[in-house]
Chains A and B, each alone.
Chain A
Amino acid sequence: MTESKLSIVDLTKRYAAGLDPAVDRLNMEVEEGHLVALLGPSGCGKTTTLRMVAGLMDPTAGSIVVDGKEITHTPVNKRGMGMVFQSYALFPHMNVEQNVAFGLQMRQTSKSEQKRRVAGALDMVQLGHLSKRQVKELSGGQQQRIALARALVVEPTLLLLDEPLSNLDAKLRETMRTEIRSIQQRTRATTLFVTHDQDEALDMADRIAVMNGGLIEQFGSPTDVYERPRTRFVANFIGQANFLNARVLSETGSAAKGETHYRVSIDGLGQFGAVGAPGLTGSTHELVIRPHRLRVSLQPAGTETIAGVIERVNYTGDALSVAVKAGDRVLQAQMPTSSGDLPRAGDAAYLSWNEQDAYLLPTPVKEPAA
């Protein structure tokens, strides 16, 4: 096993005694060169975690190790990290060049070296021609790039990004996403990235830590957290999901990646195929099915279908979202649009799915006391 670039061990932050901790015994290993997204709703502890790694906030307990060295209580200016703030925090009394050179000046790099590296960093973000500009003359996107150049020019041990895209408009955000990712991959800077935007995390990150209430709910690759959510929170926060309580009846064989095929029974709807971690037989689990993985058919097709009535139809051009009422449940599904006839509310619909697209959450649902 390769040594992690960053290890976070039982990191805890409690703002005041008696209050729930903002970050609660958090553990995480980050590999060299990876971009890790800390993803979660506001108040989940993601920014607190980042600030503790940066050294801007003192942890209550736990430790932070970078390159095998414990830095938990190292002052911020001795950590050698590069941080990009949500507000960019460019120094308004310095021009672009002076902003980018600041970190090098603090390291007492020679003047000629400073000049060379500042020019290199500005070229990297394609703003070499703006080096003499004042900060207030720059657009939001330009300020963002300068902030990135300023953080990267010192060749930081870790690059820390605190919601760097949240102040940009939607179009620019997409462009900067790609650009930050490509710069990150070129410089191979190990990066922690705080965001509340799931698309951003899925698009940019090598690993996503989905956080909730000061805890990491799941830490894995984008496909992991999307396809195989560990908890209902993760499934719900990343993308949309239908949840159905399913009694696991029996194993029907082994699936790929050490998973198991099961036969499950959903109250009032019948028996279906599903997939999940081994050893779930006998208990009730939530079955997660993404709306676009549900096949909608307007005629009865096959046996393992859920019959229902279309309650609502939303046409967005690329896709058609339908809400199908089956018994007392409403399931969200998506179907491709066509220029022909589209289903309407009131039509009968039959839902089915591929077995590997119906995933049983590993933690059983607590049975209501009989």
Chain B
Amino acid sequence: MTVTQTEAPAARRAGAAEGELEKSTGRRNRRTYLALLIPGVLGLVVSFVFPLAYMVRMSFNKGAPDGVIEETFTLDTYIQPLTDPYYWRVTLDTFQMGVTVGLLCVLVSYPVALFLARSTSKYRGLLIAVAIAPLLTSAVVRTYGWMVILGTNGLVNSTLNEMGLIDTPLKLTNNMTGVTIGLVEIFMPYAILAMISGFGRLSPQLEEAAGSLGASKLQVFTRVTLPLSLPGILTAFLLVFVLSISTFITPRLLGGGSVQVLATEIYDQTTGLLNWPFAAALSVILLVLFGLIIAVYQRLTKKIGG
């Protein structure tokens, strides 16, 4: 074994042997790490990198409405959405929906997450499980649930009507309002989880210290609690934003065809019009949008020291 070699006679040689031993174990460790990486990397290459490359390549092809794909290299697929105001509208709507859902979701999840993060109750684990339990039902089911609640004769409208607050039912489905409400609720568990994990620097002692130094409850919140929970808030916002602009089911079902976002547009192009190159180009645009947001997020987290 190598160990006995290093303990070998000549002290002069021992140093060199030790160095070699270190190097060889280092090399061996690195080899082990690389070997352990292989399954994951392979999986990603097959399921993510390759399809992504294929999609990018596809976006430069020429598509015809009847599903014929002409292998070529053209920028037409990009020129069309970038010059057509309709696609600008769709892209902007998508972005706006992501921001709105992200903000609202953070707003309603923050108190819940703060409560769960600070709870010392023995039921804390159970409460967290309850908060994320909605993930157990699929988004499709929950979207249908919201259609029932928000519909013209749904729970909200019939209640408001009974109370005499409205005469004509509010239009809460088949528009952006319904989609936003549905998405906010559907993504709340993600936001709560992201926030709880981002609240690491928050501690009751810091709030007590601020109080003892003369800060009122509001000042404790604005000067200590909120700044220290910013990393969690940002992560949650980013997560919900990304999930929102890429989601298809809820905008399609709750939007009832009148809400057009990039995801629904891509779906229509892919399965309806069979224009794969165009759908691929839209997907690349969506990816660029993701990239931009993530770049901004990283700037921000560096700034606030998350």
A residues contacting B by CB (< 8 A) are 54-56, 75-83, 85, 87, 89-93, 102-103, 106-107, 150-151, 154, 160
Contacts and interface: CB of A to CB of B under 8 A. Distances in A.
A350 to B, nearest CB: 56
Given A77-B216, A107-B214, A85 B209 contact: yes
A91 B212 contact: no
B41 to A, nearest CB: 34
A93 B212 contact: no
A160 B228 CA distance: 25
B203 interface: yes
A81 B212 contact: yes
A299 B227 CA distance: 74
B215 A77 contact: yes
Contacts of B210: 91, 102
Contacts of B7: none
A83 B213 CA distance: 8
B228 A92 contact: yes
B58 to A, nearest CB: 46
B24 to A, nearest CB: 37
B212 A54 contact: yes
A161 to B, nearest CB: 12
A72 B219 CA distance: 23
A62 to B, nearest CB: 21
B224 A76 contact: no
B208 interface: yes
A319 to B, nearest CB: 41
Nearest to B205: A89
Nearest to B212: A83
B211 A91 contact: no
B201 interface: yes
Nearest to B216: A77
Given A89-B205, A106-B219, A55 B212 contact: yes
A91 B214 contact: no
Interface string B211-234: 111111001000110011000000
29 contacts: A56-B208, A56-B212, A77-B211, A77-B214, A77-B215, A77-B219, A82-B212, A82-B213, A83-B208, A83-B209, A83-B212, A85-B209, A87-B203, A87-B205, A89-B203, A89-B208, A89-B209, A91-B209, A92-B201, A93-B304, A93-B305, A102-B213, A102-B215, A103-B213, A106-B219, A107-B214, A151-B213, A154-B214, A160-B212
B166 interface: no
B206 interface: yes
A146 to B, nearest CB: 12
Interface of A is mostly: loop
Interface in B251-303: none
A107 B215 CA distance: 9
Interface of B: 201, 203, 205-206, 208-216, 219, 223-224, 227-228, 304-305
B224 A91 contact: yes
A106 B208 contact: no
Nearest to B201: A92
Contacts of A55: 211-212
Contacts of A102: 210, 213, 215, 223
Given A92-B228, A93-B228, A106 B205 contact: no
B210 to A, nearest CB: 7
Contact of A106 (B203, B206, B213, B227): B213
From B208, B214, B304, residue with most partner A Cβ within 10 Å: B214
A345 to B, nearest CB: 43
A267 to B, nearest CB: 52
Listed residue (A79, A82, A89, A150) with the most chain B CB atoms within 10 angstroms of its CB: A89
Name the residue in A56, A93, A102, A160 with the highest tally of chain B Cβ atoms < 10 Å from its Cβ.
A93
Given A91-B206, A91-B224, A93-B228, A76 B201 contact: no
A197 to B, nearest CB: 21
Contacts of B305: 92-93
A56 B224 CA distance: 17
B150 to A, nearest CB: 40
A87 B206 CA distance: 9
Contacts of B211: 55-56, 75-77
B213 A154 contact: yes
B214 A106 contact: yes
A105 to B, nearest CB: 8
A150 B228 contact: no
Contacts of A106: 213-215, 219
Contacts of A77: 211-216, 219
B222 to A, nearest CB: 12
B208 A76 contact: yes
A75 B305 CA distance: 32
Given A55-B212, A76-B211, 4 more contacts: A77-B219, A89-B206, A91-B210, A151-B213
Contacts of B223: 102
Given A83-B209, A85-B205, A85-B208, A93 B227 contact: yes
Q: Which 4 A-B pairs have the closest CB atoms?
A: A106-B214, A103-B213, A89-B209, A89-B205
Contacts of A89: 203, 205-206, 208-209
B201 to A, nearest CB: 5
Most chain B CB inside 10 Å of its own CB: which residue of A85, A107, A160 = A85
Contacts of B212: 54-56, 76-77, 79, 81-83, 151, 160
Contacts of A91: 206, 209-210, 224
A51 B138 CA distance: 48
Nearest to B223: A102
